[in-house]
């Protein structure tokens, strides 16, 4: 029996990752050992195969070291995804990489909680520092 496929390709999987994202501005941190949670409850992007919109919530939680994320530039950065064809997994990991590049936090976590499409919702989490040799949540 032939293998059934959805038609997604490796090109779909890489879609959006070659985009030139705007830089996220920062400002000098004045305190130590505290958390910042940034919440974007109206995040949108586009499915790279179907062109249909994806809706979700992106949260960025981090402990600043010397720099904090400037929110207006972060908002403009997140707007870049609005018309971009990109997988949800790639969004979360790209946002994490760009937050780390901009602010060099002590630690960071980005969560994408995407609304159901076709009855399935997705939650993607990415962490910095990235775990080495992770065997999943049960070790």
Q: Please list the active-site residues.
A: 47, 54
Asked if 51 contacts 85 with a C-beta cutoff of 8 angstroms, the reply is yes
pTM: 0.91
Tens of pLDDT, residues 91-129: 999 999 999 999 999 999 999 999 998 789 999 999 999
User: Which residues is 44 bridged to in the sheet?
Assistant: 55
Which of 1-10, 30-39, 103-112 is predicted least confidently? 1-10
The CA distance from 16 to 36, in Å, is 27
């Amino acid at each position: 029996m032939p293998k059934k496929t959805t038609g997604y390709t490796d090109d779909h999987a890489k879609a959006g990752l070659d985009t030139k994202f705007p830089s996220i501005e920062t400002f000098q941190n004045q305190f130590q050992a505290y958390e910042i949670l940034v919440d974007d409850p109206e995040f949108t992007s586009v499915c790279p195969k179907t062109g249909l919109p994806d809706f979700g919530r992106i949260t960025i939680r981090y402990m600043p070291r010397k720099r904090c994320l400037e929110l207006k530039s972060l908002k403009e950065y997140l707007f870049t995804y609005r018309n971009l064809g990109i997988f949800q997994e790639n969004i979360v990991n790209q946002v994490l990489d760009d937050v780390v590049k901009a602010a060099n936090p002590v630690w960071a976590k980005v969560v994408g909680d995407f609304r159901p499409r076709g009855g399935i919702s997705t939650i993607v989490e990415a962490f910095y520092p990235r775990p080495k040799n992770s065997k999943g949540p049960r070790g």
